[in-house]
Structure 1
Amino acid sequence: MYSYMVSLDNLPQADRLLFLAACCFIILAGLKMAGGFIGPLLMSVFAAIIFSFVSLWFQKKGFSPRLSGYIAFGLFVACLIGVGLMVVLSLSPLISHIPKISEGISSNMHMLQGYLSQFGIDLGTIIPATQMTGSLSAFSPDALNSIIGQVSTLFIVLFTTLFLLLEATLFSKKINTVLGSYKQELADRITEFGSVVIEYVIIRTKVNFVTGAGFGIALFILGVQDAWLWGILMFILNFVPYLGFIIAVLPPTFLALVDIDPITAILVLIIASLINLFSENIIFPELAGRGMDLSPAIVFISMVFWGYFLGGSGVLVAIPLTVLLKMILESYPETRWAAMIIGTGPGDDGSIQK
């Protein structure tokens, strides 16, 4: 194995670059194929990193490592339950409005059909009733399968996080034994990375607060019922990339369509989209760039990149993964130029900013 590595060093630079490009292609192809598994696993790792600081705090207070791990996991589950309860409370007003929404949609469909009939267009020939019924029938199994898949993913995240928290102390001892003299440098890197992950969660919370507050205020001005609840729902669900925003914006849109008029419903969609675009494409890259020494352009590109290869969970962990990549690149003189490109640029003395 060692002689093989030496032979690679003796290759011409062009051949080495070609070999590295092929390795990167194979790794990315594997990520794309296994994204459904790797994404939740990475979410568990980052959750364990965040709550491991809680476990360490309890250990300093005299608790055993295992008990501290269980306490940290309990707080993690409590946070998930709290978020779930807030979502349920936010959606509860929608349940009472479902009959009204259904009736309003049906009434608007009849109005649309009457309007189109003036131009000789029969909506029934475009979307036959039997086809609509079939679509609804087909939706139920798909929705059930989707729910089962999400629940399975949740259990994977929960149990993986639990085992990682329980093994955190033992794992660090193994690393110290294996690496020996390099353990201090590794400990510093792990601590730095853990701080970055926590900082990312704080930044994500700030951005979601701006989005939720702006959306709630806009709904209040437009006269939509329970505007503050929809703002809270937007704040919570925006932690889930793309899908969370869609789920949060649909209920108040339907309420505006039924209780007010179609123009207001369209305004809700437009304003929500503008607020989300402003928060995600301007505020988030700026805060993440200044807070974690990443170029705002790299922040946006990383979300697209990791989201493509790992799915929705990839967007959640895009910034921590990019920071980890930058830390690895900074560790080798040959790749520090790439770390400088990912970062905010060289300092006044020409060195990479830390």
Structure 2
Amino acid sequence: MDAVKIKYYFFYLASVVVIIAGIKAVSEIAIILFLAIFISSIISSLINLLEKKHIPKLFSYLVVLGIFTLISLLLSYIVNISLKDFLSNVPQYEKQLQAGVINIISLGEKYGFQVDKKTILDALSFNSFLGITTNLIGSIGTFLSKFLLLIIGVAFILAESKSFEKKLKIIFQNNNEKLEHFNLFSHNIQKYFLVKTTTSFLTGFLIAVILMFFNIDYPILWGVIAMLFNFIPVVGSIIAAVPALLLSLVSADLNTTVILGIFYVVINISISNIIEPKLMGRELGLSPLIIFFSLILWGWVLGIVGMFLAVPITMTLKIAFDSNKSTKWLSILMSDVGKEKD
């Protein structure tokens, strides 16, 4: 019996390797497919909420999909203009930052501190930052070029969802337990994506409002970046804060930058550690180790976009494992149970 189980485990492992290799080979198609499925889950949740208010499904479908499309196009337009303007002004910002650092170094030298100016100024060059930014812009540009295809995919998935439910009932008509497992999986997926998208949007909105209050350039751009990077745990919020804080240091002063840094920390900690766990529940938490390796794996498979999709994809797998008794042990291994009570 043990030998048979080991053979099955090796078979499953080999299947996983083949599937991941296949996804990497068709990464461009896979990205659109994953995004369409995730967006459909969010929109489907909103349509269900409107239906509970006795609003016709077709009207709800058209309204929610139309609003999502308009908001996406508007944000894409604003972000595109802001990015182009920001990149054109980067050399000026770099000179201002280096001038401020030279003043600080000169002040330190008066008190006897010896510092290698050239090394520090080279480290403050925006070239490395621009390399990351350029790659990110390229990925966003590729995504926007396929935005119409994504919207069409979402529309077809939503249109098919009702008949898909009927198909599942026919398939599982003699097995209510499997149908319950799938319904639980579907409910938890929609709950996760709706909550995560809402809290990410709230993060980006608060960041944009605060940056507007302190008159920092391109507040909507940094708000959108904060919203997107909120899908990347821990490191995402740090990466999203760096460009805005550097810009604040250049265009404002040190006190303003420190205050903004505090706001970034408070907003991210409050939303990710207080609001999200209360809305999602501890059962939808992931182990930090699983999060770390999922970022590496899906970043390698799908590129930069894969880092944004890493946690949603991993969470989908965890919820799928949790929905079935035979695979629940995998869900427990992936869970963050350290903070839970016995």
Q: What corresponds to 2:296 in structure 1?
A: 308
Using the alignment, how far apart are the partners of 1:143 and 1:163 within structure 2? 29
* Aligned-residue CA RMSD (Å): 5.2
In structure 1, runs of 5+ residues without a counterpart are 1-8
- Tell me the secondary structure at the aligned position of residue 281 of structure 2: helix
Deviations 1:184-224 (A, max 9, x none): 8526633652354234432553366468647966x79xx94
Q: Does 1:106 align with 2:98?
A: no
Cα deviation code 1:298-339 (max 9, x no counterpart): 2x3443343333335445555554454344434554433333
Task: Quickly say closer, same or farther: Cα 1:271–1:35, change in 2 above 3 A.
Answer: farther
1:225 aligns with 2:253: no
Q: Computing the radius of gyration over CA atoms, which structure comes out larger, 1 or 2?
A: 1
Which residue matches 1:44?
36
18, 41, 50: which is aligned to 1:26? Answer: 18
Q: Distance in 2 between matches of 1:144 and 1:70?
A: 30
Q: 8 Å contact 1:330–1:339 — kept in the other structure? A: yes
CA distance in 2 between partners of 1:192 and 1:139 (Å): 36
SS in 1 for 2:155: helix
- 1:154 equivalent among 147, 150, 154: 147
Measured in 2, the distance between the counterparts of 1:305 and 1:24 equals: 15
CA 274–260 in structure 1, closer or farther in 2 if over 3 Å, else same: same
> Deviation digits for residues 92-135 of structure 1, max 9, x if unmatched?
9x959976x7545335546768979x9897959x97xxxx9x99
- Secondary structure of the residue aligned to 1:12 is helix
Cα distance change of structure 1 residues 28 and 316 upon mapping to structure 2, 3 Å threshold = same
Deviation at 1:34, TM superposition (A): 4.1
Q: Is the 8 A contact 1:44 1:161 kept in 2?
A: yes
Task: Give percent identity, aligned residues only.
Answer: 16
Q: Tell me, in whole angstroms, the C-alpha distance in 2 between the residues paired with 1:246 and 1:344.
A: 24
Q: CA deviation at 1:293?
A: 0.9
Look up the SS of the partner of 1:180 in the other structure: coil
**2:215 match: secondary structure:** coil
Structure 2: tracts of 5 or more residues without a match:
none
Q: 1:186 to 1:98 in 2, by over 3 A?
A: same
Q: Distance in 2 between matches of 1:291 and 1:88?
A: 36
Q: Is residue 40–residue 157 contact of structure 2 (8 Å, CA) maintained in 1?
A: yes
Corresponding residue to 1:17 among 9, 24, 31: 9
Structure 1 distance, partners of 2:26, 2:70, is 30
User: Is the contact made by 1:327 and 1:339 (CA closer than 8 Å) also made in structure 2?
Assistant: yes
User: TM-score, structure 2 length as denominator?
Assistant: 0.64
Alpha-carbon shift at residue 232 of structure 1 (Å): 4.8
Q: Structure 1 residues 53, 146: CA separation in 2 closer, same or farther (over 3 Å shift)?
A: closer
User: For the structure 1 residues 226 and 97, does the alpha-carbon distance in structure 2 shift closer, same or farther, using more than 3 Å as the test?
Assistant: farther
Q: Partner of 1:291 in structure 2?
A: 281
Q: For 1:310 and 1:174, how far apart are their aligned partners in 2?
A: 31
Q: TM-score, normalised by structure 1?
A: 0.62
Which residue in 2 is equivalent to 1:260? 253
1:202 aligns with 2:180: no
Taking the TM superposition and a 5 Å limit, the aligned residue runs for 1:62-101 are 62=56, 69-81=61-73, 83-84=75-76
Displacement after TM superposition at 1:251 (Å): 4.1
What is the aligned partner in structure 2 of residue 3 from structure 1? none
User: Which secondary structure state, in structure 2, belongs to the residue aligned with residue 18 of structure 1?
Assistant: helix
Give the 3-state SS of the residue equivalent to 2:165 in structure 1. Answer: helix
* Residue aligned with 2:198, SS: helix
